[in-house]
Structure 1
Amino acid sequence: MLFKKNAQRFIGLIVTIFILLILMCASIVYGYTDTSWAMVWDAFQNNNGSNEHLVIETVRLPRALIAASVGSSLAIAGVIMQTLTKNALASPDIFGVNAGAGFAVVIAVTFFSMGNLQAIAWVAFLGAAAAAFGVYGIGSFGREGLTPIKLTLAGAAIAAMFSSFTQGFLVIDEAALEQVLFWLAGSVQGRKLEILTSALPYLLIGWMGALFLASKLNVLSMGEDVAKGLGLHTGFLKIGAAIVIILLSGASVAIAGPIGFIGIVIPHVTRSIVGIDHRWVIPFSGLLGGILLLAADILARYVIMPQEVPVGVMTAIIGTPFFIYIARRGFHAK
């Protein structure tokens, strides 16, 4: 643990916020269209309608805000899932929550031509909820009840099922394939600010709900029997935590598509920095999740320039070795 005292953690939090803001600014400045820091400042102070100024305001600013918001949401959802399931591999993508939300959105867009952003967000929530409850139900079957390994296997099965359904429907409708293929890879490119503002109320509820549950998650992490002995209503806590996970995961998928590995990597990195107190783990994870997705998105612009790699591919490249390491170390998570 890097920061052992609250004073150190507070200073670390301020530094992390600063790094997040710097990366957001860098995301606005750097890319295929050649711009500078001075040009960005001028675009917000005195927009002259030039191509560079339009790119800065209508493309890169929404992109930076979306990357920070989605990365934060996925990281926080990963923290809560790992605490609830006692599973080091728990995350929205591994447990099929992202795949369920993505499948629901694909069905809504391709078969019902749904274009309303609010409606798409609700569809994503329904898909995320269906996947979450499916994993929990399947993982609870058997004599031993719910175990980390059974949850992981159930999550892999649900994710594979929804991914197969999605690919099957897209093969049937080739026009839809062109429409949603890049979105399915996970991307913040080309997203308008309106899609973030439409989902922002759900994200805000999820973020505030996670902070509200932080101290209660500390009690739950000591064991369910201990938590009940201390007067914690674990059933209500799990319902509240599930709602937060669905809000954050569903809204993130509705905005940027299914982006993986952030929910696995960031919680473990955060615990190595600040320990296991969720009152610090959740805000730190939110900030570090935004930092990771912003950094991955900036790198994605330069790998095969002038083309761009979907940011979901970049997070997979970063996260896969970490996933293998965690899987080899064991499934248990505090």
Structure 2
Amino acid sequence: MMIEKNKGKWIGLGIGSIIVLFFMWGSVIWGLTKIDTQMVIDSFLRFDGSNEHIIIQDTRIPRSLIAAAVGASLAMAGAIMQGITNNPLASPSIFGVNAGASFFVVLGITAFGMTSLMSFTWLAFLGATLAVIIVYSLGTLGKDGLTPIKMTLAGAAIAALFSSLTQGMLTLNEQSLDQALFWLAGSVQGRDLNILTAVFPYILTGLVASLLIGKQINVLAMGEDLAKGLGQKTWLIKVLAALTIVLLAGGAVAVAGPIGFIGIVIPHVARWMVGIDYRWVIPYSGMLGAVLLLIADIGARYIIMPAEVPVGVMTAVIGVPFFIYIARRGINE
């Protein structure tokens, strides 16, 4: 009965999954180096060490997988954040995830001379986790406990603090600037598949958890008092949601750097497509987030070819007009 009732949404997920696979395939074959479908097949069945086969195996396929995983994770994290805070502008950046990750990466470069992407990955994951813990701790202060407005204000304050400290370190140590800028811009270019596999268990756990708490977020989104009246342990749901955000957004930022706007834009598109039921908003957000980042990454290859634009710049170009629209609509309401 439930499947029949939501038949259109299931069909939409199926079509969307095919679109994701199409752009993942496009991410492998489109770019500066000319690659066709037969080359991709031959690189698996008859690898000959040619430049094209090496690019397919070592660059294009990892890049495609990373873009899909990061886009889905950021969008789902954004959907959860908007659900539990009742804030249409909520995203990983509002919890200080991006700023905390960036601070720890720059700290590792300037204070400890770290240079490898793998070390950046674990530093970023640690920074993102610490940022969310601090935001939740500050959000629980006061007699009302954890509230959406306090979480939003705490997140904004922590994001500003970490951003200021990051800028200060870069100003004091200009030698670290070049090493940090590429990561700070956000990119899936040059990321090794080992970076994704290192954090994938955490991302996968977050993906599964996000699909399981959709019903609880529906209740929480109706209001704190109503949720408590219905017997929901709101503090527990918020803690579980925070852990899920850490796994999703922290893992994504650790792999690709602080890519913005996906977590803001995509949940709104998902709600426009399937309504306000977070049991559907979250999976649709993951699907659409993967599509958006794949498209942005493919487009980044052609803007100033043979050079590339960081994909974080592309998502900003796409996301800023939408962000302004959401902000203006919220003010007018």
- Indicate if the aligned counterparts of 2:121 and 2:195 stay in contact, CA closer than 8 A: no
- Identity among equivalent pairs (%): 60
Give 2:175's aligned residue: 175
Question: How has the CA–CA distance of structure 1 residues 98 and 178 changed in structure 2, closer, same or farther, with 3 Å as cutoff?
Answer: same
Q: Larger deviation: 39-48 or 165-174?
A: 165-174
1:271 and 1:28 map into 2 onto residues whose CA distance is 30
Give 2:64's aligned residue: 64
Say whether 1:192 aligns with 2:192.
yes
Q: Larger deviation: 211-220 or 301-310?
A: 211-220
Shift of 1:221: 1.5
In structure 1, what residue type is equivalent to 2:161?
M
Give 1:248's aligned residue: 248
1:116 and 1:59 map into 2 onto residues whose CA distance is 17
Q: Deviations over 1:152-199 (max 9, x none)?
A: 555444333322221221233333222221110000000000000001
Q: Deviations over 1:220-257 (max 9, x none)?
A: 12222222222221111111110111111111111100
Give 1:102's aligned residue: 102
Q: For residue 93 of structure 1, give the secondary structure of its aligned residue in structure 2.
A: helix
1:149 and 1:318 map into 2 onto residues whose CA distance is 28
Count of aligned pairs between the two proteins: 330
Q: For residue 92 of structure 2, give the secondary structure of its aligned residue in structure 1.
A: coil
Give 1:228's aligned residue: 228
2:121 and 2:26 map into 1 onto residues whose CA distance is 29
Say whether 1:304 aligns with 2:304.
yes
In the TM superposition, 1:17-36 aligns within 5 A as 17-36=17-36
Question: How has the CA–CA distance of structure 1 residues 135 and 326 changed in structure 2, closer, same or farther, with 3 Å as cutoff?
Answer: farther
Give 1:162's aligned residue: 162
Question: How has the CA–CA distance of structure 1 residues 122 and 238 changed in structure 2, closer, same or farther, with 3 Å as cutoff?
Answer: farther
Q: Deviations over 1:95-138 (max 9, x none)?
A: 42211112112212442245787765553333223333444566
Unpaired runs of 5+ residues, structure 2, are none
1:280 and 1:231 map into 2 onto residues whose CA distance is 23
1:77 and 1:247 map into 2 onto residues whose CA distance is 9
Shift of 1:147: 7.0
Q: Larger deviation: 15-24 or 161-170?
A: 161-170
Question: How has the CA–CA distance of structure 1 residues 21 and 253 changed in structure 2, closer, same or farther, with 3 Å as cutoff?
Answer: same
Give 2:74's aligned residue: 74
Q: Deviations over 1:291-330 (max 9, x none)?
A: 0000000000000111100000000000001111111111
In structure 1, what residue type is equivalent to 2:227?
A
In structure 2, what residue type is equivalent to 1:325?
Y
Give 2:292's aligned residue: 292
- Indicate if the aligned counterparts of 1:148 and 1:332 stay in contact, CA closer than 8 A: no
2:91 and 2:320 map into 1 onto residues whose CA distance is 13
- Indicate if the aligned counterparts of 2:63 and 2:191 stay in contact, CA closer than 8 A: yes
- Indicate if the aligned counterparts of 1:100 and 1:128 stay in contact, CA closer than 8 A: yes
Q: Larger deviation: 155-164 or 222-231?
A: 155-164
- Indicate if the aligned counterparts of 2:124 and 2:254 stay in contact, CA closer than 8 A: yes
- Indicate if the aligned counterparts of 2:84 and 2:148 stay in contact, CA closer than 8 A: no
Shift of 1:12: 0.3
Question: How has the CA–CA distance of structure 1 residues 251 and 125 changed in structure 2, closer, same or farther, with 3 Å as cutoff?
Answer: same
Q: For residue 125 of structure 2, give the secondary structure of its aligned residue in structure 1.
A: helix
- Indicate if the aligned counterparts of 1:118 and 1:199 stay in contact, CA closer than 8 A: no
Q: For residue 55 of structure 2, give the secondary structure of its aligned residue in structure 1.
A: helix
Question: How has the CA–CA distance of structure 1 residues 143 and 329 changed in structure 2, closer, same or farther, with 3 Å as cutoff?
Answer: farther
TM-score (norm: length of structure 2):
0.91
2:227 and 2:115 map into 1 onto residues whose CA distance is 45
Unpaired runs of 5+ residues, structure 1, are none
In structure 2, what residue type is equivalent to 1:43?
S
1:145 and 1:239 map into 2 onto residues whose CA distance is 12
Shift of 1:29: 0.4
1:121 and 1:232 map into 2 onto residues whose CA distance is 36
1:230 and 1:149 map into 2 onto residues whose CA distance is 22
- Indicate if the aligned counterparts of 1:206 and 1:245 stay in contact, CA closer than 8 A: yes
Question: How has the CA–CA distance of structure 1 residues 230 and 145 changed in structure 2, closer, same or farther, with 3 Å as cutoff?
Answer: closer
Q: Considering only aligned residues, what root-mean-square deviation do their CA atoms show, in Å?
A: 2.6
